[in-house]
Amino acid sequence: MHGINEKLKFIPVRIAVLIMSDTRTLETDTSGMTLVKRIEAAGHEVAERAIVPDDKAAIRAKVSALIADPDVDVIISSGGTGLTGRDVTPEAVMPLFDKVIEGFSVIFHQVSFESVGLSTLQSRAVAGLANGTFIFCLPGSNGAVKDGWDKVISLQLDSRHKPCNLVELMPRLMEHVEHGH
C-alpha cells in the first residue's frame, strides 16, 4: 500500500523558504506565502523565509549558509528555474549538491504537465541533497509552488508516507561522513 498511514506518528521537519527574485518583497511574494502557509498547515516548522536576488553568487551564498545551519532540514526555493538570462537558480545550487534527486524533476514535470501542458518544459526544477539537507528548487509561479508542494514534496516530507519517505532517511544521511570513510 502507498499513501499516508494515519496510525504512524508525524515527525515535523524544519524548512527554509527561499524566493529567488529581483522584484518581489515579503509583502508581494505570493509564492513564498503560499509555501509558508502549506508548510505550517502540514505541521512543519518554517525555519526561515527570505528573498534572494537573481544572482548566482548571492543564491549560492544563502543556500550554503542554510546547508550549514543545523536548524534547517530542508530548503525549498521558488523562482529562477526558467530559461531567461536571470534564471540562475540551478546553476547556483546544483554545484552544492552531494547527490542529485533525479526522480524529483521527472515527477515534478509529470505533475506540472497536468496543470500547464507542454509549458512544463520551460522549467528546470531540480532537487538534491547537500550535507544532509534536502533542497528543492521550484519555479516561481503560484501554480508550480502548489503542484510541487501538494503533489510531491509534502508527501515525501510526511514521515507517515509509505512505502517510504525522505524523513525516515534523515538520521542516515550523514552515515558515510560520520564514520570517516
The CATH number fitting domain 11-171, selected from 3.20.20.10, 1.10.150.130, 3.40.980.10, 3.40.50.720: 3.40.980.10
What pLDDT does 176 receive?
A: 74
Domain ranges of the chain: 11-171
Per-residue confidence (pLDDT) for residue 2, from 0 to 100: 84
pTM: 0.95
pLDDT lower than 50: segments of the chain: none
Strand, coil or helix: 21: coil
pLDDT score recorded for residue 1: 63
Q: Measured in whole angstroms, how far is the alpha carbon of residue 102 from the centre of its chain?
A: 13
Distance CA 181, CA 88 (A): 33
Model pLDDT, residue 152: 97
